[in-house]
Amino acid sequence: MTSLEASAPAGSERHFTVGVTGMTCAACAGRIERVLKRMPGVAAANVNLATEIAQVDGDARVTSAAVEAAIAKAGYGTRPVDHSGAPEDQGKLQRELVSILIGAVLTLPLIAPMLVELVGGHLMLSAWWQLALATPVQFWLGAPFYRGAWKALRGGTANMDVLVALGTSAAFGLSLYLMAGGGVHLYFESAAVIIVLVRLGKWLEARAKRRTLKALEALESLRPTEALVRRDGADAAVPVAALRVGDLLVVKPGARIAADGVVAEGRSAVDQSLLTGESRPVDVEAEDHVIGGAVNGDGLLLVRVTAVGAESMLSRIVRMVAEAQGAKAPIQRLVDKISAVFVPVVLVIALLTVAGWLIAGQGWEPAVLHAVAVLVIACPCALGLATPTAIMVGTGVGAKNGILIRDAVALETAGATTVMAFDKTGTLTVGKPKLTEIVTDLPRDRALALATALQQGANHPLAHAVVEAASHVTAPPVSDLRSLPGRGVAGRVDGQYLLLGNGRLMQDAGIDVSVLRAAAQTLQDQGNSVSYLADAEARRALAVLGFGDAPKPTVKQALAALRALGVRTLMLTGDNEAAARHLAAEIGLDDVRAELLPADKVGAIAALKGKGETVAMVGDGINDAPALAAADLGIAMATGTDVAIETAGIALMRGDPLLAPAAIDLARATKRKIVQNLVWAFLFNVLGIPLAAIGGLTPIVAGAAMALSSVTVVTNALSLNRWRFRFGEVR
């Protein structure tokens, strides 16, 4: 398979990504999309003009050969997909520039008489010389327009190539007609200048589009080609493609880590800025996770490989960014509808222009010239580039700052967010609570041992805090252990059936906590979360445990930034009411809902959506999966390999709360660029076409304006690279 990449089927579903060649405007992308959607088994098709990539989803009936054949039937070619570079490679751009320069040299003598006339001089080339200079420009430099027009017409559609080929041919043909009649004033220069300017505009556009993929190129450059592996006691260099899970990597100081893994031996600091946006090196030691592509500092590390190939963090990030850049924003649907009828309408307007000037008695010469201006000024290139180029740059800027945006829908939803809900532990707080107090009638170590027995093997932060505090005691064996989501755990220890959990669990189980209620209230008033240890059969509480977890350093700044952006903040937590409100008051949250089960969080989000709010939910991407899915936008906040890249609408590669408002700010900046581009593109055509029809634009001016329009749209999108978060430093 040379031109397609097919993901592994999920059930009977398949996803294809194919590079497309030969597209010149939005009408081309729309034509291919319609052809693909008519294929048996295709559920969805999206063609992106800026990236020149088509994405196709379908069932088992859809094959790579069928997709390629459908694109070929539509009059276009296919190419291998390479996420590391732009559609046009550097060599092709250089060859294109040489062709344009040759065309410009041939065209310059044709426009020289006009230039000389501006300074009061007089110069006139003979008709035969004009024909000799214009012919190679028309039929050699202009050949791509003729080929593209023929393919489009053969496929039953019309595109930019049709407009340019028809317009320049009309100017060239009119000149031949006048030349045959002995006319002196010819229009070869109009046809030649239009071709040179349009080709130059496409070259500038292609060069600018290369810059929109810089984020992907930077990520791809992190892939090492070789790794030093220790096998059977000997170190040997092997290709990265040959690595296996479980291999032991030897990572020397200054070397790039070849694959995701866990540090088996050694201590160092690793630079993973291009992967997570974290500007400072991260200290690592035994048992810490490291990401393939990060650069080791000054220590020697032995790393046990945990993921390779497509499952590695770097591959997943590249895949997510590439798919986001190729996705189509909802606002693009309006553009697609317009593009589908745009070129045919322009052809009708051009015919009406000819008819109007003839009826006005002006003759064929001005009628044809004004129709040519209409055809050239109407090319819908800028319209097709307005949205995808802004999305490409916006998602790329996000990736550089540790904000991975899954698709254009997530980007648009982020910009429209009115309420942002947060989980507490690990999102607003550091996520490493400490056991601060135990109030019990039992010996303290006995209570600790019982609690530890129930919590061993659990992955909850409070469980880790209990186990850490009980490192000096021996936990007895436990049986019948079971997890009670959102409430706690239960199990039999030394013959007693015990419960360890929150107040709701105690209430549901009918446990009498009155003897410990005052102590629990004191702990909660101090901002602690509390859990009860209870004997389920005796229905009495044995101990109350208090846990303290510090707010993240930037959380107040993040909430203030959200408030400045007009986004209300809300905490949804299973923690007790008093502790939750203590934290909310400390960090400046707008609202808090406490003592919630996972289903209650979903209900709270649904209620907000029912009031017309656009809700984003920020959590760790694992424990908060139901709430993340229920929200209009799920934002997974985590670090390293724990981030839920595959499922979150937006994944924050660091646990910095400032990234949440930064994502909103970036999404809104991208949306502004999309709107600016669309306004420019629409106004350009809406004002330019009638102006050309009434004789306000010459064909040469129309050609220059059309080329300038596309370049302006791409350049405006590229200005997003200067985006900086206004409310803090996220690097």
Point out the residues that are catalytic.
423
Helix ranges (DSSP H) in 502-594? 503-508, 514-525, 555-564, 577-587
d(CA 360, CA 288): 81
For 275-286, give one letter per residue: b (16+ CB within 10 A) or e.
Answer: bbbbeebbebee
Query: Could you write out the DSSP letters of every residue in 41-65?
Result: TEEEEEEETTTTEEEEEE-TT--HH
CA distances from 698 to 197, 342, 486 (A): 14, 21, 72
For 652-671, give one letter per residue: b (16+ CB within 10 A) or e.
Answer: bbbbbbbbbbbbbbbbbbbb
H or E element that contains 572: strand 568-572
d(CA 610, CA 632): 12
How many beta carbons lie within 10 A of that of residue 15, not counting itself? Answer: 18
d(CA 660, CA 652): 8
Closest CA to 329 of 406, 214, 417, 420: 406
Tokens 């060069």, located at residue: 207
User: How many residues are recorded in the chain?
Assistant: 731
C-beta separation of 613 from 413 below 8 A? no
d(CA 227, CA 506): 54
For 352-364, give one letter per residue: b (16+ CB within 10 A) or e.
Answer: ebbebbeeeeeee
Strand order in the sheet with 633-637: 403-405, 650-652, 633-637, 615-619, 419-422, 568-572, 591-593
| Beta-bridge partners for 652 | 403, 637
| Amino acid (one-letter) located at 12 | S
